Structure 1
């Protein structure tokens, strides 16, 4: 927590680095300074525009206001797909006199308007808000060297949206429409902080279960702050969830990274109505008119240390006595409500949690519900409990408002469980649920679900998981004359045997109108007849001949849209027939987003994939499409909006993972594919997916006027370091089009920007893919041949510089035709091997390298007649070449060194040479670079091999230690068994 506080403080401080330039109000300069401070202190992508920076004295008078609009913070590494903060309006008030003096500028206030914050902790304990760069080991930074000071005395959040997710616990919080104000003198070390917070919808989740869901939260708190000790003590405070009010007492101490808690809490009101407001569906507009009676007692504690490996102890007690409630518009009341329960955990180990429900009783009209339970521990869990209810569903609607819904039918529940629940054990269970003559009608759909019947039995008489019988019998229902019926029988838990038969039609449009799905739209019809019988042991062993499975499923006009799939999916028609081994998918047509698809094929091992662990789903599919828009699927992970709508985040945020346990062959034939700024025509080829790797085979398409054939692999077995290989065969592509379209060309061959003409190439690449789904240039390697079909070399600064040095004007406008150039890429550097070209009577040999930083290192050998060289240069070259007497017809070689950058080349004369040594200097330049890069590559490989070897050794040592501990455990158990056996024998002797 201290890191959170310090990190957030550092982040806020660096954002106002531009305040030093306030007197001149140079926004571009402000952005430059902010960028510099962010680069120095923040390990995250911070995105904003210079035009969105504003400095004003009026909105925050008497303080100076610094505002940044549309500020976005995106994580790096493991969080590259997460937006940490999206801040439409960020405002800070700076102490005006501190800005004018330039000494210790103070932040006095902070205001966030409509912020969206997503705070996340991975299972490893790594947090996405830990974005400030590490402090050097020799000690903390010297704060006297900074011009910024935290003097905050007021802060505010307006209409915020906050998500907190901690996968180490696992625990989560979602708060919508958050409004928060706070004040405190942070220039002092000891002071009181006062805050007020509201949220219209507050949800708290633990281990996938919502314990508090969409409740209105309100909190007023005064907390004593001691920043020297990092101790925070609750003083006056009051919190409310809906109408349920409670307070805290005690303190929180953070001596280091640990958090020591000693807190108690209790309800502030003894009226039963307050806790009733927390029951789902109860807190409606008419809740204030609900008549209640009865008393409430609620208290609890949290005590102990919280860190990455431990939780504090906790406990609660709840007691409700002789309570009732009655809605004014409903005829009956819920009466005789009595609850006596407690939850207790002394040491913070979740598995040691004990729950006692000593009494739970209520009468829903004339329908009693009774339950008791004692739970000791969670893993393993010792359980002793029972539940009995005999309910007329029509009676429920007379007691409890089920808005827009009509219910009828009889529901009987009688369940008892006693024993231990673990991986190999379960309690002795006898549970029966019987629903007869069920009827459900929603106001949103005119037709009801009728004749709803189901008999569910769960029986285990021994406590052995394999002796568990689960039967769902006599299930049937009718919706507008369309029946759905079935039965399911399962025996065993670990390796269950099963026998199921389902037949009928499901109209998803009607069902979802009766039972709406939050955050999801689902429509369409599924008609099927399915039978299956067998056991899981045969499925895991692949003995599908022992499984009896058959059926047919027809899908019509299926539409699906969700928060995770905002583009939507539509299946117009599809038919699937299946048996034990495979599914035949026939004539599936529809849309993925706006892209049309037609799919046929087979899927095998579907049982192993669905029911067993780590078994692959195999299949062969043919995909046809007229137009597939890949850009539609490149969406921002936070907003769900297409990336194209957000210029500041054009790149895909994070690695696209190839699914595990998929073994698919996909034959694609797509007439048009839109990807980024490319329009790919007539794409045909095969994609193989296996072992988290996608493999392209002869994928051909046309774009930018050229013809492409590609093969390669994309391997995501390591999401941190995804690998790729890429064999590329291109015919007749424009140089300038290649430069505009491909990031790789821009990095390693910037000369393509100014070349007029076409080229073909056959090139093989390999490297690592970055988290932005672009090649990591420093890892790129490859080799191939580039065929210059025809290139007009003019207005090229390198060539112009050579012309200026040599005074050979004819080389400024070269035409190169049908020339093969061999090249190699090592560690992201393009190495062009020596090649020859002719300009008039001159012959040129060129070779060298472009590196990632933009520097060039080329050698150029010009073989020219001495008659073309000026007198002064001629004499100098003759001296270099050792020729005292020469004729105009003699030839001499000029060796040139070309350095600098493509935009600012540096050309120098390296000397003349005899005719036979024309290529020697160029060859040496290239060989030297190749040797350097090969040495670097070898060193990288050695480091990688050492890393893998060390990891394998570590795992081996862990396995050996685990085996040793297990053997030691078994030895002690065996000794204990021998001792117990000896004691039993001695007891037997003495008894005799």
Structure 2
């Protein structure tokens, strides 16, 4: 028995040892297969660190578990600034035997923990998840199968966040705390796939309106899968949104890119309470206690083909009969809820959608609300509807809980609309809204809004957009003894005339306590007395003399913090005066985050910018600060945490900083200190001009790292996918090593700076492209300039050590260069140093060459030395090069080729010549490198110019076509006007003929 026990424990030890060793033995192989499959199959940036890859036999026994932490997938082309997926923990369960056999690795399971997925479809229909490389793109010679075989039997997604935004429809979904699990045998052609999905919060949006908001989702779906036919049929399924359950029947067929849908759906329960649960704001903790009555029916269909150019037909019907709901703690109920509506689209063309609300009625206490609406088509939209309501706001709080809020006042709405809504027309509309003696009080603030009165009307009698009249005849309120009033009249839509007045005090602190803003904190006071009257056509033509605008605005202690601006902004004081053309800004001071600022100046064309799509906001602002911390504004878009500029690409918030369009503003900056990453820039001053999506720097000066900088240049984001920059720098007395440590460009272009001790000055012009990580694309860099070496101590540099070892010249191991000027060029990212002279003791040197962005160096050095310094071995080799013995009194030139890298240089003797040839030899070698680099650059430029020329021709043709269409449109309009005038004149003449003859005036008739 003892031997059996010992043997058993030995077996267990071996088993655990094998389980621990197998992952280690096969980790490199599995990771290599993963990397190969990503490169072969995915056209996107897949970012992860090698240290975050793990392999285990215990985590998913009997499968081998391949885990990848902190995985990120970033799109390409149009989506190169978008993070498609951010997955803290990703796990593949691999079949153990497939790993041991060494054939295809079989994936049995997939697990994702806390992923954030952002799915986007552009207006063009292009989707950001379309990242898989089709088989046809693979190289013809690559006949190997995939490194992975999909044998998935189960998958799990836990605590996911999902965003889906389809701009082509436009439609959006958002799910939070999503959990999804599924099972099925994907090694078979026919099987059942069972899945379960839940979400704590689920929102569905169409055209900017939330139709489902923060609902709970619970969906159990079983699909009959026929992989050979690509046919998927709904079997048992039950989907529940809040308390509203429904199910699908039918099938999805997708053998190719097209998707054929033949689906029906219907509610599985018929109580009114079920549909009430999906009404925004109704599904609260009290929902189960709400008393309801009434019945509902809900059904619909989706039928047809879905692809890039077509949508399936769809329709739904909803009926509610004698509905009622009453909250247990409130005295009155909403009764007589009757709804009869349908949405129908037979052909899948979105514009052919019909919406028919045949009946909508409810009584809020004693207040009836009635509406009906028929919408035929969406663009153009034929509309016939009306809404009538007379509501005592006090009654609403008796029916529906308004937590912590007291409401009073009488609200009347009476609106009718009939006609066609399009870009050039709108329905005949007569809509009145009147609020009388409004009163709003929040439990969070002791003072109420009182005397709230609004009288507004929208009127259009003809259906012509220019005949629309929007009149807010009166608006006034009183908040804690401080009045605010205003009025606005707008006539016309395309080219409106306006007459607006606002006067009073708006206390944002008090107002936001009454009406809290989610994700936003606002405080402060605005005191305004502003009026404006004029026509939009005069603003567009910049005829500001025809506009009457005047007023003043004062801001004090304005604080603003939001999820999009977590650093916060505070304006301690600001005063502004308005006239027709500009806003004069005075005495503005405050904080952006923790950085102080002061500003004054003017903003011009503010009305053109506000009311027109193609006019720029102009201005000239003087901006000063004692200390500005740029690091505070480098915020990760997912976590809200600050990210240092030196963080990895995966850690940084991806994307280019875009210069806003429609700005023509000059900022005159004066900053005592600016902190950026680990740099302190002191005494920053100069001008930055923002115009045409270009930021231009003019005479920007600052001090840092003990040196002084002056720069001019530009940053161009007119093409956001390929932003450009060009700068000229004038730097004085900067230390080599500190420059190397601080600037990525120097690390890549001139890495030798990290090996030198001393200071330099430079005047250099350079230009290139900016990548999506806001770093230069080094292979595109071009430039030229001079580098003045004030003093450089060369010691412990491998290049000169190798030269010294080869030549046996010990003085070359350590030497000092002083007051030496270098001419240099950057071509295609390679730094080319033109030939320059050095003297170390009695050794005269001529040096020139280049180093590229891959770290390779290619230099030529000519050493002119007395013959007596040359050792016997080197003397013999030189004699072989020169064809004879060297004379003792001669000086000899040693020509050296230097290659490799700075860390692993390769130095070789090229030959010896007379002294006079050394200069030419180095110059010829450097010129050859320059000519080669310039030829490559010219080729790239030609390709870029051809691309730009083609784009300009396309735009020109498009503009000409638009111009011809506009001329034809105006010609037809002119013809119609002429015909109308002629018809009116003829009609008037005929009416005149039909009038009875005038009777003679008896008082003036003769005898």
TM-score (norm 2): 0.91
- Offset from partner CA, 1:55-83 (integer Å, 9 cap, x none): 33333233333323333333344334322
Question: What is the CA deviation profile of residues 241-297 of structure 1, one whole-angstrom value per residue up to 9, with x for unaligned ones?
Answer: 111111111111222222221111111111111111111221122222222222211
User: What is the DSSP-based 3-state SS (H/G/I as helix, E as strand, rest coil) of the residue aligned with 1:777?
Assistant: strand
Contact 2:861 2:895 in 1 (8 A): yes
Please name the residue that 2:819 is paired with: 818
CA contact (8 A) 2:23 2:55 kept: no
Q: Residues 88-145 of structure 1: CA distance to partner in whole angstroms, max 9, x if unpaired?
A: 2223322233333333332222222222111122233333223334544478997863
Q: Measure the CA separation in 1 of the matches of 2:713 and 2:971.
A: 53
Partners of 2:820 and 2:203 in 1: CA distance: 67
Q: In 1, Cα distance between the equivalents of 2:31 and 2:447?
A: 62
Q: Which residue of 2 aligns with 1:752?
A: 753
The aligned runs of 1:678-697 (5 Å cut-off) are 678-697=679-698
- Report the more deviating stretch, 923-932 or 107-116: 107-116
Aligned twin of 1:177: 177
Distance in 1, Cα, partners of 2:824 & 2:651: 31
1:855-896 deviations in Å (ceiling 9; x for gaps):
2111111111112112343354356446667233x2121111
Q: 1:228 to 1:843 in 2, by over 3 A?
A: same
Contact 2:20 2:57 in 1 (8 A): no
Over residues 133-176 of structure 1, what are the superposed CA-to-partner deviations in whole Å (9 max), with x where a residue is unaligned?
45444789978634422111111122211111122222111001
1:838 aligned onto 2:839: yes
Task: Report if aligned partners of 1:848, 1:858 keep a CA contact under 8 Å in 2.
Answer: yes
Q: Which moved more, 1:303-312 or 1:166-175?
A: 303-312
Equivalent residues of 2:164, 2:173 under 8 A apart = yes
| Counterpart residue number, 1:117 | 117
Aligned partners of 2:113 and 2:160 also within 8 Å: yes
Structure 1: distance between partners of 2:364 and 2:780: 69
Distance 2:664 2:458 in 1: 37
Alignment-derived partner of residue 592 in structure 1: 592
Q: 1:793 to 1:30 in 2, by over 3 A?
A: farther
Query: What pairs with 1:801-880 in structure 2 (closer than 5 Å)?
Result: 801-878=802-879, 880=881
Q: Aligned partners of 2:404 and 2:619: how far apart in 1? A: 45
Give secondary structure in 2 for the equivalent of 1:462. Answer: coil
Query: Could you tell me whether the CA contact under 8 Å between 1:224 and 1:232 is conserved in 2?
Result: yes
- Asked if structure 2 preserves the Cα contact closer than 8 Å seen for 1:597 and 1:624, the reply is yes
Contact 1:28 1:50 in 2 (8 A): no
1:10 aligned partner:
none
Structure 2 Cα separation of the partners of residues 586 and 312 of structure 1: 59
**What is the rounded CA distance, in whole Å, between the counterparts of 1:487 and 1:902 in structure 2?**
74
The Cα RMSD (Å) is 2.7
- Tell me the equivalent position of 1:81: 81
Q: Deviations over 1:551-581 (max 9, x none)?
A: 1111112111222222221111111111111
The answer to whether the 8 A contact 2:351-2:379 is kept is yes
Q: Distance in 2 between matches of 1:765 and 1:20?
A: 55
**Corresponding residue number in structure 2 for 1:984:** none
Structure 2 residue 919 is the aligned partner of structure 1 residue 919 = yes
Other-structure match for 1:640: 640
Deviations 1:744-781 (A, max 9, x none): 11112111111111111110001111111111111100
Q: Do the aligned partners of 1:168 and 1:308 also contact (CA within 8 Å) in 2? A: no
Structure 2 gap segments, 5+ residues each: 1-18, 979-1007
In structure 2, the CA distance between the partners of 1:521 and 1:968, relative to structure 1 (3 Å rule), is closer
Distance 1:328 1:274 in 2: 18
User: Aligned residue for 1:371?
Assistant: 371
Q: In the alignment, does 2:607 pair up with 1:607?
A: yes
Q: Is the 8 A contact 1:102 1:147 kept in 2?
A: no
Q: What's the offset of the Cα at 1:798? A: 1.2
Distance 1:619 1:257 in 2: 52
The Cα of 1:387 is off from its aligned counterpart by 0.8
Deviation of 1:824 after TM superposition, in Å, equals 0.4
Q: 1:739 and 1:39, CA in 2 relative to 1: closer, same or farther beyond 3 A?
A: farther
Matched, 1:520 2:520: yes
Query: Deviations along 1:14-59, whole A, 9 cap, x unmatched?
Result: xxxxx99944268788667655554454333333344433333333
Query: Using a 3 Å threshold, how does the CA distance of structure 1 residues 138 and 599 change in structure 2: closer, same or farther?
Result: closer
Quote the Cα distance in structure 2 between the aligned partners of 1:84 and 1:971: 49
Moved more, 208-217 or 68-77: 68-77
Equivalent position of 1:254 in the other structure:
254
> Is the contact between residue 881 and residue 892 of structure 1 (CA under 8 Å) also seen in structure 2?
no
| Residue 669 (str. 1) matches residue 701 (str. 2) | no
Residue matched to 1:308: 308
Report which stretch shifted further, 278-287 or 211-220: 278-287
Q: 1:329 to 1:632 in 2, by over 3 A?
A: same
Q: Distance in 2 between matches of 1:592 and 1:711?
A: 26
SS in 1 for 2:98: helix
Query: Residues 419 and 975 from structure 1, CA distance in 2 versus in 1: closer, same or farther, beyond 3 angstroms?
Result: closer
What pairs with 1:157-306 in structure 2 (closer than 5 Å)? 157-306=157-306
Q: Is the 8 A contact 1:27 1:50 kept in 2?
A: no
Q: Please list the CA deviations of residues 389-431 of structure 1 after superposition, one character each: whole Å capped at 9, or x if unmatched.
A: 1111111111112222111110111111111112221111111
Task: Kindly indicate whether the alpha-carbon contact (under 8 Å) linking 1:544 and 1:581 is maintained by their aligned counterparts in 2.
Answer: yes
Distance 1:420 1:677, change over 3 A: same
Partner of 1:333: 333
- Which position in structure 1 is the counterpart of 2:10? none
- Give the direction of change, closer, same or farther, for the CA distance of 1:744–1:134 in structure 2 (3 Å limit): farther
Q: Under a length normalisation based on structure 1, what TM-score does the superposition of the two structures give?
A: 0.93
Report the secondary structure of 2:644's partner residue.
helix
Q: Are the equivalent residues in 2 in contact too, given 1:354–1:375 (CA < 8 A)?
A: yes
Distance 1:82 1:563, change over 3 A: farther
Q: 1:634 to 1:925 in 2, by over 3 A?
A: same
Tell me if the contact between 1:57 and 1:63 (Cα under 8 Å) persists in the aligned partners.
yes
8 Å CA contact 1:222–1:237 kept in 2: the answer is yes
Query: CA offsets, 1:505-561, max 9 Å, x none?
Result: 111122112112222221211111111111111111111111111111111121112
Distance 1:70 1:617, change over 3 A: same
**Contact kept in structure 1, 2:875 and 2:886, CA below 8 Å:** no
Distance 2:969 2:456 in 1: 43
In 2, Cα distance between the equivalents of 1:958 and 1:608? 26
The answer as to 2:750 corresponding to 1:735 is no
Shift of 1:582: 0.8
How many equivalent residue pairs? 962
Change (3 A) 1:734 1:21: farther
Instruction: Quote the residue 2:707 is aligned against.
Output: 706
> What is the SS of the residue equivalent to 2:402?
coil
Describe how 1:343-354 pairs up with structure 2 within 5 A.
343-354=343-354
Q: Give distance in 2, aligned partners of 1:661 and 1:490.
A: 25
Residue 53 of structure 2 corresponds to which residue in structure 1?
Answer: 53
Is 1:97–2:97 an aligned residue pair? yes
> How big is the shift at 1:961?
6.6
Q: In the alignment, what sits opposite 2:563?
A: 563
- For the residue of structure 1 that corresponds to 2:773, the secondary structure is coil
What is the alpha-carbon distance in structure 1 between the residues aligned to residue 946 and residue 91 of structure 2? 50
Q: C-alpha displacement at 1:234, in angstroms?
A: 1.0
User: In the alignment, which residue of structure 2 is the partner of 1:12?
Assistant: none
Q: Is the 8 A contact 2:37 2:146 kept in 1?
A: no
Secondary structure, in 3 states, of the residue corresponding to 2:286?
helix
Superimposed CA distance per residue, residues 444-473 of structure 1 (whole angstroms, 9 cap, x where no aligned partner): 222211111111111111212122111112
- 1:956 Cα deviation after fit: 4.6
